[in-house]
Amino acid sequence: MNRIHTQTEWIARARKVLPAAGFGNFDASIVIARGEGSHVWDEDGNEYVDYLIGSGPMLLGHGHPEVMEAVLEQLPKGMTFFANNAKGIELAEAIVDAVPCCEQVRFVTSGGEADMYAIRLARAYTGKPKILKFEGGYHGMSAEAQMSLAPSKHVNFPTPVPDSAGIPQGVADDMLIAPFNDLEAVASLLNEHEDIAAIIAEPLQRIIPAQPGFLQGLRNLCDKHGVLLIFDEIVTGFRLAYGGAQERYGVTPDICTLGKIIGGGFPLAALGASAEIMAHFDKAVVGADKWLMQLGTLSGNPVASAAGLKTMEVLRREGQYERLRGLGQTLMDFQSTALTAQGIAHRICGDPTLFDIYFTDADPVDYRTAKHSDPKINEVWNTTLRANSVFKSPGKLYPSLDLTLDDLELTKSAFQRGAKAVSKYQTRAM
């Protein structure tokens, strides 16, 4: 009979074989054993209400029965083919039907891969080298995306700061950095540089909302200067609305990237655009010189496609997004009520479908203003929440559709205890 290993034992084993004892994604001090519905359990059997939900994909909760049925139906038919398959084609049709900018899509395996190809596609289509991104914007792990993702030192715009070792100076030479929500800065850069291929942006940057008119302003500037607009909708796609941020905000980019929810919890992502732009993936149409090579062993994986198709089918049902927004707003209100009762300065930032707190008395509008007045406060808050059975990342809270009234009550209580813990910390620190 196999002995059950404790979480401490698993962590010790991880230290031997994994750099920093983890996968690079999340706090390596917790090892998740299983998930079911809106809950996860660690290897010691501790149960949590899950607001991390795999960093976003599990919008329906873990092990949704209809998604599981679709996956189990596909598994005996084949797990991967490196060839076209019906489920992948159906998923492409569903995405094209849902997302305004997409006439065609190309599948990849991860969101970072999708963003990398979107940047390359923009360069192929325009014949220009430079990319404008916003400081603090997250677009995966490519060399371009790692420019000014989370710079610890502030430099003058538009100078990029690499956030990773191993990135050559040549990458920085073709990147321009601007502050989010600053149309004047973007307009100035577009006037100064005629070799910009695209602007890439998260329509909701991490949890910082675009100010009224900002996204449409980007659209107008791109049209004026012949620059492509890329929306990174890895997070916002099928979360903010069924048609993503494009539907929610009424602004259509030239190219978008999608991930997380479209794979239903399995590794799958995509990029999409007009047929004219996407023609660069077809050598017979554009010729060898303008052809963008793209392939991947698991691209369009049928199991992931089946999971994504069923997830999207469930999301199309009446009332799903109203429920999601209602759950999110309730959680926002619980947070604000608990913190206000303790006299704690805070701003709840984001959208009811994705949000978190900045402990500050100023409204965050870009990377440099999205700061806690004291970072320790956020640590106290999140540590207390986890100690009270709420599992989330340090900087985001993802509601899922499987949350129950009991989950909400438990979370409300955890917020109240978190607020009291923060208040005690602030009193001691004075």
Domain containing 187: what range?
A: 65-315
String of DSSP letters for 323-356 = HHHHHHHHHHHHHHHHHHHTT---EEEEETTEEE
Q: Are residues 246 and 156 in the same domain?
A: yes
Total of domains in the chain: 2
Taking only the tens place, the pLDDT of each residue in 174-233 is 999 999 999 999 999 999 999 999 999 999 999 999 999 999 999 999 999 999 999 999
Q: Are residues 189 and 277 both part of a single domain?
A: yes
Taking the alpha carbons at both ends of the chain, their separation in whole angstroms is 55
Average per-residue pLDDT for the chain: 97
pLDDT tens profile 236-292: 999 999 999 999 999 999 999 999 999 999 999 999 999 999 999 999 999 999 999
Residue 10 lies in a domain: no
- Say whether both 287 and 326 belong to one domain: no
> Cα–Cα distance between 307 and 397 in angstroms, integer?
23
406 in catalytic set: no
Q: Is 260 an active-site residue? A: yes
Please identify, among 270, 298, 315, the residue that sits at the C-terminal boundary of a domain.
315
Q: What is the CATH number of the domain that holds 374?
A: 3.90.1150.10
Q: Both tokens of residue 31?
A: 């090892």
Same-domain check for residues 360 and 245: no
Question: Catalytic residue among 87, 260, 310, 392, which?
Answer: 260
Residues 152 and 283 in one domain: yes
Residues 95 and 232 in one domain: yes
Whether 116 and 228 share a structural domain: yes
For 86: left if phi > 0, alpha if psi spans -120 to 50, otherwise beta; the answer is alpha
- Give yes or no: residues 352 and 276 share one domain: no
51 in a structural domain: no
Asked about 242 being catalytic, the answer comes back as no
**Tokens 């596909």 belong to which residue?**
74
CB-based burial label for 84 (10 Å; 0-12, 13-18, 19+)? exposed
Give the active site residue among 182, 232, 366, 407: 232
Taking only the tens place, the pLDDT of each residue in 402-419 is 999 999 999 999 999 999
Domain membership flag for residue 425: yes
| CATH classification at residue 161 | 3.40.640.10
| Active-site residue identified among 117, 125, 138, 367 | 138
> Each residue of 290-320: pLDDT tens digit?
999 999 999 999 999 999 999 999 999 999 9
Which of 293, 315, 337 is a domain's end point? Answer: 315
Q: Are 37 and 244 in contact (CB under 8 A)?
A: no
Say whether pTM exceeds 0.95: yes
Do 260 and 406 lie in one domain? The reply is no
